[in-house]
Homo-oligomer: A and B are copies of this chain.
Amino acid sequence: MNAEIISVGTEIVLGDILNTHSQFLSRELAGMGINVYYHTAVGDNDRRFTGMLENALNRSDIVFLTGGLGPTTDDITKETACQLMGLECHYDEAIGERIRSYFARSGRRMSENNKKQAMVPQGAVVLQNDWGTAPGFILEKEGKTVVLLPGPPRELQPMFLQRVKPYLEQKTNGIIFSKNVRVFGIGESLLEEEIVDLVTSGNPTVALYAKTGEVLIRVTAKAPNQQQAEELVDGMIGQLRERLGNTVYGIDVAGLNEALVAELKRQKKTVATAESCTGGMIAEQITDVPGSSEVFEMGTVTYANRIKRDLLGVSEQTLQTVGAVSRECALEMARGLAQKSGADFNVAVTGIAGPSGGTPEKPVGTVYIAVEHGGKVWCHHYYFARNQKERDYNRTQACLNAMNMVRLTLTDPKIYEEYYE
């Protein structure tokens, strides 16, 4: 089955907004075994949109139309699609009532033109929108399927996952089920080598996506029912865990910060941070997770040497002999932080983020990370050499590795035994 995606909106072709729908839908459809051959975007122009949709219906089995379902006269997607496909529209009382009560809940009054959103094409499957006012629609005619979805991402994404996907699964006589395995601490090529036989095994499919500093593995199974699909996916995840060990940090989590906060909560432990080159990024990442106040004790950003000394008790000798970017300084920062914070884990980072500040002995990208736990400290020396100029890359890598060191200590008792001094 071949699909294509048409994004409708003048704001897209003007470059005012970034089109993220095409990527989202393509990835989802690829996971379901549906090929996407074309992405197109066109403004709110009747003639140009009609030409594009006509083309699409000639060459694809399913056409996704995103955007242009709003209440104003600019919003032409539904009307134009129906005209081209020869479908009448009628006003639907129930949908009108939903929209009216949606406005009432947010203390606003429904305007006359919102009624446009309650017009339903004849024979259409209505996709109820619990995230906004415009319902979506699935139109079927002469073997072709047209799916209309609202433009805002926070409406489109749940609409696809909860309304369209089950419909397509039913059409293809089976369940498609995915889980995302999150991996940190192994490069994409090395990872692919480790699991190349699993990547090519068929059902479930295993797809790799490189993200900043980590890899996402998407495991997708097709089966006659949900239980069988889940069993297939979980079986594959078991095999991945066996191969990849503790580089797997979570299943269906948003990121390392979420996985770390969840594990700290589970074990009722707390964490504190002392940051130099990351400048608050670790604290920011941890506190980005709702409910992190249970596990986050305190953070310090000790940029100036004087502050490292006064706030964390780093010795004048260390600062003057080996300098602030050193193993010794990281260790003293972590121990000093532990005294102040009383947290179970005290993580300290010092390094050279760039673009300037590097020396031949300590080039940009040099970072020391120390974690204090139970009176002992583990320090690791990193060198992020991908591109010495990339301040943001170096800071992000340092931040992720700091969170990962705490995670490893929490989840793998051997780490504490072997690495902590």
Please determine whether A41 and B38 come into contact, CB atoms closer than 8 angstroms: yes
**Minimal beta-carbon separation of A217 from chain B (angstroms):** 13
Residue A234 CB within 8 A of the other chain? no
With A279-B296, A284-B280 as known contacts, state yes or no: A12 contacts B39, CB within 8 Å: yes
For A291, what are the chain B residues with a Cβ–Cβ distance below 8 Å? Answer: 356
Please determine whether B290 and A279 come into contact, CB atoms closer than 8 angstroms: no
Residue A317 CB within 8 A of the other chain? no
For A302, what are the chain B residues with a Cβ–Cβ distance below 8 Å? Answer: 298
Residue A341 CB within 8 A of the other chain? yes
Please determine whether B283 and A288 come into contact, CB atoms closer than 8 angstroms: no
Residue A354 CB within 8 A of the other chain? yes
Would you give the 0/1 interface string for A382-402, flagging 1 where the beta carbon is closer than 8 Å to chain B? 000000000110010000000
Closest to A297 in B: B304
Residue A128 CB within 8 A of the other chain? no
Q: Report whether over half of chain A's contact residues are helix, strand or loop; otherwise say mixed.
A: mixed
A307 touches which one: B275, B280, B297 (CB < 8 A)?
A: B297
A window 7-62: CB within 8 A of B = 7, 12-20, 22-30, 36-43, 45, 48, 52, 55
Residue A286 CB within 8 A of the other chain? yes
How many Å lie between the Cα of A77 and that of B340 in the bound state?
60
Please determine whether A209 and B16 come into contact, CB atoms closer than 8 angstroms: yes
A37 touches which one: B30, B42, B273, B300 (CB < 8 A)?
A: B42
The size class of the interface chain A forms with chain B is 35 or more
Residue A173 CB within 8 A of the other chain? no
Please determine whether A304 and B298 come into contact, CB atoms closer than 8 angstroms: yes
How many Å lie between the Cα of A273 and that of B52 in the bound state?
53
Please determine whether B43 and A30 come into contact, CB atoms closer than 8 angstroms: no
A356 touches which one: B209, B290, B311, B357 (CB < 8 A)?
A: B290
**Minimal beta-carbon separation of A120 from chain B (angstroms):** 29
A19 touches which one: B29, B39, B282 (CB < 8 A)?
A: B39
Closest to A341 in B: B307
A window 298-314: CB within 8 A of B = 298-304, 307, 310-311
Residue A157 CB within 8 A of the other chain? no
Residue A85 CB within 8 A of the other chain? no
Q: List 5 A-B contacts (CB under 8 A).
A: A55-B55, A280-B287, A287-B303, A290-B354, A298-B304
Given contacts A279-B284, A280-B282, A300-B301, 13 further A-B contacts (CB under 8 A): A12-B39, A14-B30, A15-B25, A18-B18, A39-B39, A39-B41, A273-B280, A275-B280, A287-B301, A291-B356, A298-B302, A298-B303, A298-B307
